[in-house]
Structure 1
Amino acid sequence: MVNLIFKDILIQKKTVMYMLLYIVFAIFFMQGVGSNALYVLITVTIAFTVSSGAFAIDEKYGSEKVMASLPITRNQMVQARYLSVFVYAAASILIMALIGAVANLLNVQFIKLDYITLAVIKKILVSCVLVTSISYPVYFKFGYTKARIASFIIFFAFFTSVVTVAENVSDGDASSFLSFINGLSSGSLQLVGGLVLLLIFVVSYFISINCYESKEL
């Protein structure tokens, strides 16, 4: 399992370099969305791009056919892909957290990032789970080339939603909304939300297994 994830990282050295350049671009040219939204956009974009890149490279070079001849089950391959999203997300969160911490400690004026918070990390993980749960079954069913347009639409919808909310919800509105949510019992709400999110992720996982096991390589 770990080797499969490590393999996906090694075959994407160029993609990783592009993502580092993307971080620089986003920090300088997308600061209008706000610090928290910027953290979410950058980290989820990195996780989604790297995970999608693994599908693209495998399809391009026929890696799936090679792995099918190895003592690796399709179930394990699907598991590795789903778990790898959290590896990419954790790596991108760490990088962005370090950038934010250094910017604040050194008082770098042109990098407008606050210290990353647990609330922001939760939003990143929720976003990664949702984007993954929707896009992965499509990848496993149709392959990257056929599914990339649908995948782009899914991610663009996510991207637009984050920017729209960041630009249209004022601090006062956000505070009022959060107070309303807290009044509904924060613990219960988070528990229900977490269970629903887990259900979505598990259902997506089993759909992907079913699609991949019935697919001809």
Structure 2
Amino acid sequence: MVNLIFKDILIQKKMILFYIATIILYLLIKVSLVKIGFLYSLAFITMSFSYDEKDNANILLNSLPYTRKQIVSSRYIGSLIYTSLIIIITYLGNFFLNGKETLFLLKDILIIIGLVMVAMSFILPICYKFKTQSLMIASGTLFGIYMVTIKYLFPSLNDTLRELIQKFLTLQETQMYFVAILTIIILYVGSWLLSIRIYARKVF
């Protein structure tokens, strides 16, 4: 299963250079580290998944000595590893650009990992059930609905969401963080089991 995870890194080795270059550009214009870490982690994971859909790669994967449970599990474990890789790249870049005054905040890291886990909990089962192209169409539709909503129905929605996120970031209650972490883990494991069930029934 380690080889399955390493495979995605090898496939995207050229893209990693592109990720590093653009991450540095975003750091230079002071984009939030959390935003960079989250978006690039999603990009890396979804790109890895889309490569498996090309050239009948799934048929090749299923001909290898791996069970379908192992194939799915490598995707979920790999998502956490890829996210950690992006976080390391982002914080190293920020450190070299901004010097020692840059703090390596544990809260930021937990937020990035948590956001990625929540997003992947919904994205991966959809990708296993359909195709990433369907996900792109659905994402575009949802974005369109969101833009119409904030323009005509709830113009203050962006400000409200920003305030809620800011309040969460300033929370100091350990109990709240414990509940949030436990909820995310349950959601991720549930998604993992659902994806295994979906993939086990697929015919290639």
Bucket of the pairwise TM-score, normalised by the shorter protein: 0.7 to 0.9
Residue in 1 aligned with 2:21?
21
Residue in 1 aligned with 2:105?
117
Structure 2: 5+ residue stretches without partners:
147-157
- What amino acid maps onto 2:203 in structure 1? E
**Distance (Å, rounded) in 1 between the aligned partners of 2:123 and 2:40:** 15
Residue in 2 aligned with 1:187?
174
Change in CA separation of 1:207 and 1:8 when aligned onto 2, cut-off 3 Å: same
Residue in 2 aligned with 1:216?
203
How far residue 100 of structure 1 moved from its aligned partner, in angstroms, is: 2.2
Query: How do 1:76-115 and structure 2 match up within 5 A?
Result: 76-105=70-99, 114-115=102-103
Identity %: 29
Change in CA separation of 1:153 and 1:18 when aligned onto 2, cut-off 3 Å: farther
Change in CA separation of 1:155 and 1:138 when aligned onto 2, cut-off 3 Å: farther
Deviation larger for 146-155 or 199-208 = 146-155
Change in CA separation of 1:8 and 1:154 when aligned onto 2, cut-off 3 Å: farther
CA RMSD of aligned residues (A): 3.0
Q: Is the contact made by 2:27 and 2:94 (CA closer than 8 Å) also made in structure 1?
A: no
Query: How do 1:24-43 and structure 2 match up within 5 A?
Result: 24-29=24-29, 31=30, 38-43=32-37
**Distance (Å, rounded) in 1 between the aligned partners of 2:136 and 2:36:** 20
Residue in 2 aligned with 1:160?
none
Aligned length: 192
Q: Is the contact made by 1:40 and 1:120 (CA closer than 8 Å) also made in structure 2?
A: yes
Residue in 1 aligned with 2:153?
none
- What amino acid maps onto 1:4 in structure 2? L
How far residue 202 of structure 1 moved from its aligned partner, in angstroms, is: 0.9
Change in CA separation of 1:60 and 1:166 when aligned onto 2, cut-off 3 Å: farther
**Distance (Å, rounded) in 2 between the aligned partners of 1:180 and 1:21:** 31
* 1:76-135 deviations in Å (ceiling 9; x for gaps): 01100011111111111111221222233278xxxxxx4230111111111111111110
Change in CA separation of 1:14 and 1:85 when aligned onto 2, cut-off 3 Å: same
TM-score, normalised by the number of residues in structure 1: 0.77
Structure 1: 5+ residue stretches without partners:
108-113, 158-163
Residue in 1 aligned with 2:119?
131
